[in-house]
């Protein structure tokens, strides 16, 4: 044996909580000091300044001899927090990047501490049972008698949708994807990954997939039934729009095409009594991508794919004797490998389950309603402001707007100016042949005053940009990952 030395404490076992307690105090302390040091939605200075600051705190990240847990935790969490774009700050509103609920985050700690792995029952006995309960409950929000798998997000759910289409018994030959020009980039990337034919892009001139264009495309391609997978979107990344799901489902039925709905964003509307009607037709999809790290307020990752016919999942059946030997399965040990393409798998189900149970459908639906209402309120502010143009009434919680008469370049510069100032995080979208600023409202704590302040900041940045345009030298630093 090597020289005896006490190893650092573990998070699990009978003493795990006692070992965690003082370390969590340090982590919470560093979250506090880091947020104070940041003092806004993101750090000022832009990528080079942030990287330099992080480097000063973290280097060397793999020393020969360690600093001990306290210093490492305090230093790195403080630096990460000081340099975060924190979605809990109301002016951090660019992306489908939600601020997680404290209850979900606290639950996620237990997932890390116990470290169940969802690839065999004997690594995750109760977590296996909990995942079965939760996926069943969430599947029932979409389909009668369906099933659902947990994924790392909408991207993996979209990949699985293509894979299940490729492998479906009803599929004839290589399945071809038809997706709107408004669809998420992960769909075409998944087709490439899976070795499928080049996808067909269906026009979406008004930001939603045009059923007439889809009908034309399916007619023109003219394959036999079971050749095509149509992907519709419920909540586009750019504008939060919802494709006409019922019309698209009718066309899929008429042409014998499979239907996938990417509802990674819009799926959250299912929890709202007043808004779930916006998703009418979703239940006709063969597969649906959902994502509770968007309108579900979970820390990443919390994705799902819902399938109408549970037998579709048979395509994922997979044996590895060390994990699911036939005689173990026959003896009653649940067989988990067919529930994911991953092997080791974190129990993301725990934080989801705790959140669902804590808030209930009504509580979650209320949060959805709040951010959708905020978006309407922000749209009203923009519409009333002489210096800004509104793209359209928001469908979910995304608001597109632009300074009146600004060029596309100017708008990109305004966005980057806000980032470099550290004052606001906004997104961008090119639609209708023009560039727009994008606010994705996902923070239920955002107040009307925050929305007013956000618009004021954009206005000021816009005027500053006119006076003193973005410096040319930033364009010299090619944007590869910093080292």
Q: What residues between 366 and 425 interact with a second copy by CB under 8 A?
A: 366-367, 369-370, 373, 377, 409, 412, 416, 419, 425
Of 143, 260, 410, 428, the one binding a second copy (CB under 8 A) is 428
Q: Does 434 bind a second copy (CB under 8 A)?
A: no
Q: What is the closest distance, in whole angstroms, from the C-beta atom of residue 410 to a second copy in the complex? A: 12
Q: What is the closest distance, in whole angstroms, from the C-beta atom of residue 216 to a second copy in the complex? A: 26
Q: Which residue has the tokens 């980057």?
A: 416
Residues 59-88 that bind a second copy (CB under 8 A): 59-69, 71-73, 75-77, 79-88
Apex CA 63: angle with CA 10 and CA 67, to 5°?
50
Q: Which of 430, 431, 412, 408 is nearest to 420 (CA)?
A: 412
Q: Does 238 bind a second copy (CB under 8 A)?
A: yes
Residues in a beta bridge with 280: none
Q: Which of 407, 396, 389, 450 is nearest to 425 (CA)?
A: 450
Of 142, 148, 156, 240, the one binding a second copy (CB under 8 A) is 156
Q: Does 458 bind a second copy (CB under 8 A)?
A: no
Whether 248 contacts 215, CB under 8 Å = no
**CB nearer a second copy, residue 221 or residue 300:** 300
Residues 28-57 that bind a second copy (CB under 8 A): 28-32, 35-36, 42-43, 46-48, 50-51, 53-55
Which of the ranges 13-21, 204-212, 380-388, 458-466 carries the binding residues for a second copy, by CB under 8 A?
13-21
Backbone angles phi, psi at 197, to 5 degrees: -60, 160
| DSSP H or E segment with residue 261 | strand 258-262
Tokens of 92: 């951090």
* Three-class SS state of 389: strand
**CB nearer a second copy, residue 73 or residue 248:** 73
Number of residues that bind a second copy (CB under 8 A): 200
Dist. CA 254–CA 273, nearest whole Å: 31
Residues 299-358 that bind a second copy (CB under 8 A): 299-301, 303, 318-323, 325, 327-336, 339, 341-347, 350-351, 353-358
**CB nearer a second copy, residue 249 or residue 337:** 337
Q: Does 280 bind a second copy (CB under 8 A)?
A: no
Dist. CA 231–CA 243, nearest whole Å: 10
Dist. CA 303–CA 296, nearest whole Å: 10
Q: Does 122 bind a second copy (CB under 8 A)?
A: yes
* Three-class SS state of 276: helix
Strand 287-291 to strand 258-262: parallel, antiparallel, or no bridges (unpaired)? parallel
Which of the ranges 149-157, 227-235, 251-259, 380-388 carries the binding residues for a second copy, by CB under 8 A?
149-157
């Amino acid at each position: 044996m090597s020289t005896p030395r006490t190893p650092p404490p573990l998070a699990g076992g009978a003493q795990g909580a006692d070992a965690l307690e003082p370390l969590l105090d340090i982590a919470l302390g560093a979250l506090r000091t880091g947020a104070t040091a940041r003092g806004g939605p993101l750090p000022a200075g832009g990528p080079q300044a942030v990287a330099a600051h992080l480097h000063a705190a973290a280097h060397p990240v793999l020393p020969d001899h360690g600093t001990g847990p306290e210093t490492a935790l305090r230093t790195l969490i403080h630096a990460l927090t000081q340099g975060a774009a924190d979605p809990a700050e109301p002016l951090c509103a660019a992306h489908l990047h939600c601020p997680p609920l404290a209850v979900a985050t606290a639950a996620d700690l237990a997932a890390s501490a116990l470290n169940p792995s969802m690839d065999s029952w004997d690594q995750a006995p109760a977590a296996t049972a909990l995942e079965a309960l939760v996926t069943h409950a969430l599947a029932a929000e979409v389909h009668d008698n369906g099933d659902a798998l947990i994924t790392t997000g909408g991207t993996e759910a979209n990949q699985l949708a293509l894979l299940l289409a490729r492998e479906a018994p009803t599929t004839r030959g290589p399945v071809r994807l038809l997706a709107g020009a408004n669809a998420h980039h992960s769909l075409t990337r998944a087709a490439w990954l899976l070795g499928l034919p080049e996808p067909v892009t269906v026009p979406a001139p008004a930001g939603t997939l045009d059923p007439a264009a889809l009908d034309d495309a399916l007619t023109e391609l003219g394959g036999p039934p079971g050749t095509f997978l149509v992907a519709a979107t419920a909540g586009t990344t750019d504008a939060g729009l919802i494709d006409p799901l019922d019309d698209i489902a009718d066309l899929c039925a008429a042409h014998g095409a499979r239907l996938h709905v990417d509802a990674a964003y819009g799926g959250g509307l299912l929890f709202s009594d007043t808004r779930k009607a916006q998703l009418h037709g979703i239940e006709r999809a063969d597969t649906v991508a959902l994502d509770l790290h968007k309108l579900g307020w979970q820390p990443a990752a919390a994705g799902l794919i819902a399938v109408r016919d549970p037998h579709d999942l048979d395509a994922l059946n997979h044996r590895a004797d060390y994990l699911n030997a036939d005689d173990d399965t026959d003896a009653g040990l649940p067989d988990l490998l067919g529930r994911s393409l991953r092997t080791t798998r974190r129990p993301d189900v725990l934080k989801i389950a705790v959140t669902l149970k804590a808030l209930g459908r009504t509580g979650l639906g209320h949060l959805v309603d709040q951010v959708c209402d905020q978006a309407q309120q922000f749209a009203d502010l923009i519409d009333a402001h002489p210096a800004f143009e509104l793209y359209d009434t928001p469908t979910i919680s995304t608001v597109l707007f632009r300074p009146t008469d600004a060029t596309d370049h100017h708008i990109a510069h305004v966005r980057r100016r806000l980032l470099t100032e550290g004052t606001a995080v906004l997104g961008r979208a090119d639609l209708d042949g023009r560039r727009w600023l994008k606010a994705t409202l996902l923070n239920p704590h955002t107040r009307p005053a925050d929305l007013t302040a956000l618009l004021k900041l954009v206005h000021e940045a816009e005027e500053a940009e006119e006076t003193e345009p973005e410096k040319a030298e930033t364009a010299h630093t090619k944007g590869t990952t910093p080292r």
